[in-house]
Amino acid sequence: MSKFPVIIDQKKPIELLTAFLQKGTIPNALLFTGIEGVGKRTIATMFAMACNCLSKEPWSFFQSGNQATKCRICYCKACVKIRSGSHPDIIHIKPSGAYIKIAQIRSLRDMLAMKPYEARIRVVIISDAQAMNPSAGNALLKVLEEPPARTILILTTIQSSDLLPTIVSRCQHIRFNPISCKSLEDILVDKEGLDYDDAKIVAILASGSLSKALSIAESKNRVSWINRRSWLINTLNLDMPGQMSTQPVVSLLAFAAELSKNKEILQDSLGVIKSWLRDVIVYKSCPEKIINKDLIDNIQHVSQKLTARDLIAKIEAIRTAQKGIKAGANLRLTLEAMVIQLAYEPQT
């Protein structure tokens, strides 16, 4: 039987959940927020196991160290069923296509109208809760307003602002941290066999996500993402501020078109650009805290050429594009407007 992975850099969430178990005061609804790949869904499942474990000390499920938390493996009947995904009272809901639809929430409400089959505490895990369309969100709100007995709901999402404020207000909010570069480097070296230099670059590109780090760590993906980072920065002349304004508009429009073709990695690509701009700002006061450490010479050069105000304006252009994309704006036009703002230097 497979073991759950060690959970990295989530000491505070683990302490909060352990306290709930020890005191016997578990909220009716929990909201786990944080970037993808930091353990939200894994910990949600482990918490469901701890809530229903037949051992005498379920709060000892999470055994914390300095950075890593080892999840105790229990072979009681309840834990075995939950671990295998066959427990009737541990309900998983995730997007059907792009959305979590109202039919899924209505079906959930029907299930919750009945008593749990065998669990001490029934647990509903709604992954990517931000994918609920408005009608599904309003239907879930009714469940949260009148929570069923012996039932807790765990919602996972990247940021709470993606949910209805009325849903957020009815949940105990637990924030999950991005995993530190050092922790990712250690995993990539010790578990994946990467050499230190490669591990350092992969950890940077992963931006705090273990799942992304493991994906990039594959040789083909690693080369692809390093090349992509160079393409993103170089095409926009972000590493050569004196030449930004010389970029032909037709080239920028072609760049936007290319970006729009890869919707699956579009947000990651925008994140790479933001991390570069962020590093240039951070270098001005705390150079040791930059993310793209392998590009420190270029970052130093750019930080001397552009003001923090100029850089913040460029980051804001990316955020505006991300909001527009999320709201359903025309993807191509949104990206075209963004890259023009990024590539051209502000007029003084």
Per DSSP, helices labelled H in 71-123 are: 77-84, 102-112
Q: Report pLDDT for 69.
A: 56
Mean pLDDT by 10 residues, the chain (348 residues): 62 90 92 94 93 74 54 80 94 92 96 94 96 94 94 95 94 94 91 84 84 84 83 87 68 90 84 89 88 86 90 92 87 94 71
pTM assigned to the model: 0.74
**Could you tell me which of 161, 162, 177 has the C-alpha nearest to residue 210?**
177
Q: Report pLDDT for 249.
A: 84
Q: Report pLDDT for 343.
A: 84
Q: Report pLDDT for 65.
A: 47
CA 152 – CA 135 distance, rounded (Å): 21
Residue 164 tokens, joined: 């209805």
Domain map (residue ranges) of the chain: 7-175, 218-343
Q: Report how far apart, in Å, the C-alpha atoms of 77 and of each of 47, 72, 85, 87, 118 are.
A: 16, 15, 12, 10, 11
Q: Report pLDDT for 8.
A: 87
Q: Report pLDDT for 248.
A: 78
Choosing among 3.40.50.300, 3.40.309.10, 3.30.1540.10, 3.40.50.2300, the CATH entry for 7-175 is: 3.40.50.300
Q: Report pLDDT for 181.
A: 87
Residue 12 tokens, joined: 């505070």
